[in-house]
């Protein structure tokens, strides 16, 4: 067995982890929202009640992602797994920008790791199958593609984290100024 096949197993393992995370999110959003959301998200009961239909709708999407990952793992479809990892990264980035920064760590980081390991496996198989034909420059080109993808994803995540910190700092400054300027 070639070394890159082990890398593929690691990527598939991350896809399995992501599927489990999304199954949990599906159950939380569809069935346990009213019970767990007040504690988990610090939401008032009236907000939880009003948002229950929206949460159930989000749960369906998370369930579809989980099922897609499971299906991709069962049929060993690397292209489908790549696509779903990118979807999860994109959705997680949006969630990190608009919601909780925890989403970056719970969804985006495993998605990025899955994407990296799946990419290395995919490109390594191409290199291995073309090893008699492909040159050293071709190998470096493929490694460069994986590196560039990884760099772009981490740059986006870093930008989100910086933006969230700036937003939190601005909120803190606004809160402090409102306390200072409040008439007595």
Convert the pLDDT of each residue in 129-170 to its tens digit.
766 555 666 666 667 777 777 777 777 777 777 777 777 777
Long-range Cβ contacts of 74-80 (<8 Å, 24+ apart): 78/8, 78/118, 78/121, 78/122
Question: What average pLDDT does the segment 42-62 reach?
Answer: 90
Cα–Cα distance, 68 to 11 (Å, whole number): 15
Higher pLDDT, 74 or 128: 74
Higher pLDDT, 118 or 152: 118
Residue 182 has pLDDT above 60, yes or no: no
Element (H, E) at 176: helix 136-181
Element (H, E) at 44: none
Tell me if residue 45 falls in helix, strand or coil: helix
Cα–Cα distance, 40 to 70 (Å, whole number): 27
Q: What is the pLDDT of residue 178?
A: 66
- Single pTM value for the model: 0.71
Question: What average pLDDT does the segment 96-123 reach?
Answer: 85
Residue 79 has pLDDT above 60, yes or no: yes
Confidence of residue 95 (pLDDT cuts 50, 70, 90): confident
Task: Report in angstroms the alpha-carbon separations of 2 from 107, 126, 134, 152.
Answer: 30, 12, 18, 28
Confidence of residue 177 (pLDDT cuts 50, 70, 90): low
Tokens read off for 77: 């479809």
CB burial of 59-73 (b: ≥16 within 10 Å; e: otherwise) equals beebbebbebbbebb
Task: Report in angstroms the alpha-carbon separations of 183 from 175, 176, 178, 179.
Answer: 14, 14, 10, 9
Cα–Cα distance, 1 to 39 (Å, whole number): 48
Q: What is the pLDDT of residue 184?
A: 55
End-to-end Cα spacing for the chain = 76
Which is it for the CA torsion 44, 48, 54, 55, positive or negative? positive
Tokens read off for 64: 């579809």
């Amino acid at each position: 067995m070639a070394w890159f096949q082990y890398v593929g197993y690691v990527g598939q393992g991350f896809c399995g982890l992501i599927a489990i995370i999304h199954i949990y999110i599906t159950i939380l959003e569809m069935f346990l929202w009213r019970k767990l959301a007040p504690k988990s998200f610090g939401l008032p009961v009236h907000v939880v009640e009003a948002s229950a239909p929206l949460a159930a709708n989000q749960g369906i999407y998370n369930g579809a992602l989980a099922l897609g990952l499971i299906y991709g793992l069962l049929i060993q479809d690397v292209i489908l797994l790549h696509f779903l990892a990118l979807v999860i990264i994109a959705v997680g980035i949006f969630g990190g920008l608009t919601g909780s920064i925890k989403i970056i760590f719970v969804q985006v980081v495993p998605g990025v790791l899955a994407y990296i390991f799946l990419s290395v496996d995919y490109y390594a198989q191409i290199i291995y199958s073309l090893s008699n034909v492909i040159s050293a420059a071709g190998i470096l080109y493929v490694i460069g593609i994986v590196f560039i993808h990884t760099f772009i994803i981490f740059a986006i995540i870093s930008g989100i984290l910086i933006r969230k910190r700036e937003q939190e700092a601005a909120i803190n400054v606004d809160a402090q100024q409102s306390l200072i300027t409040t008439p007595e």
